[in-house]
């Protein structure tokens, strides 16, 4: 059976879980031994990062590589459907999350505790996140999913990232504003049976982390 090393807070682990649920792939969730980055974990996953993925002799890190491996080994239902142009568009939409929105959110983690917060950096990253979400709204035109009528790899990382962004921004005294064209897409996405099981664990884990670091509006 496939083993996925990760935790409930990682949006990239959540992305891989969505892919596997959607494709009906059996897997076992495990915590990285001694925590990710530990010597024990690096003996399994050399990069020491999460998600870590083991399928027999295949050992992978990086969620996008894992998702595309699953697409090739379990091709139905297709999550990179269509011709070369359509598949490229799905990959491009996925990169908006991985390269632009999620990094802006991740940068805010260092500022969750008011004692270490830099207001100017927070303002910059919150504005950047909203700007990139606006770009996604213009690029995607959901119908009802980002790339068209079916769930694709373009959709899978967003649900938990948006939950984390809402909670993080609230802790920083801001409000996440999802552009109007994306709101029906988000509702549809959160109801998908491959997505829904991961939402509450993410919400609980994020709230616990914020409480642990003493996050609150300045």
SS (H, E, C) 55-118: ECCEEEECHHHHHHHHHHHCCCCCCCCCCHHHHHHHHHHHHHHHHHHHHHHHHHHHHCCHHHCC
Q: What's the CATH superfamily of 2-73?
A: Glutaredoxin (3.40.30.10)
Q: Which residue has the higher pLDDT, 218 or 148?
A: 148
Q: Dump pLDDT digits (tens) for 157-191.
A: 999 999 999 999 999 999 999 999 999 999 999 99
Is residue 19 within 8 Å of 58, Cβ to Cβ?
no
- DSSP type of residue 175: -
**Residues 135-163: tens digit of each pLDDT:** 999 999 899 999 999 999 999 999 999 99
Give helix 158-171 / helix 11-23 axis angle, nearest 10°: 150
Domain ranges of the chain: 2-73, 84-212
Q: Please determine, for residue 38, whether its predicted confidence score (pLDDT) is greater than 70.
A: yes
- pLDDT at residue 36 in the model: 84
Fold match between 2-73 and 84-212? no
Q: What fold, for 84-212?
A: Glutathione S-transferase Yfyf (Class Pi); Chain A, domain 2 (1.20.1050)
pLDDT of amino acid 95: 96
Residue 22 has pLDDT above 70, yes or no: yes
Tokens 């068209």 identify what position?
148
pTM, entire model: 0.95
């Amino acid at each position: 059976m496939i083993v996925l090393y990760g935790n409930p807070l990682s949006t990239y682990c959540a992305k891989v879980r969505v892919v596997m649920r959607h494709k009906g792939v059996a897997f076992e969730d495990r915590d990285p031994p001694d925590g990710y980055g530990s010597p024990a974990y690096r003996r399994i996953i050399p990069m020491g990062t999460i998600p870590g993925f083991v399928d027999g002799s295949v050992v992978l890190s990086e969620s996008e590589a894992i998702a595309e491996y699953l697409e090739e080994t379990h091709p139905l239902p297709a999550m990179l459907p269509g011709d070369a142009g359509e598949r490229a568009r799905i990959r491009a939409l996925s990169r908006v999350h991985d390269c632009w929105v999620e990094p802006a959110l991740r940068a805010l983690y260092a500022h969750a505790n008011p004692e270490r917060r830099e207001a100017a950096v927070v303002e910059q990253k919150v504005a950047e996140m909203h700007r990139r979400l606006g770009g996604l709204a213009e690029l995607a035109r959901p119908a009802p999913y980002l790339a068209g009528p079916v769930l694709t790899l373009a959709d899978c990382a967003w649900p938990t990232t948006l939950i984390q962004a809402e909670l993080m921004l609230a802790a920083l005294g801001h409000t996440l504003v999802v552009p109007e064209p994306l709101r029906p897409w988000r509702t549809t996405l959160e109801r998908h049976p491959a997505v829904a099981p991961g939402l509450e664990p993410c919400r609980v884990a994020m709230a616990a982390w914020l409480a642990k670091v003493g996050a609150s509006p300045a």
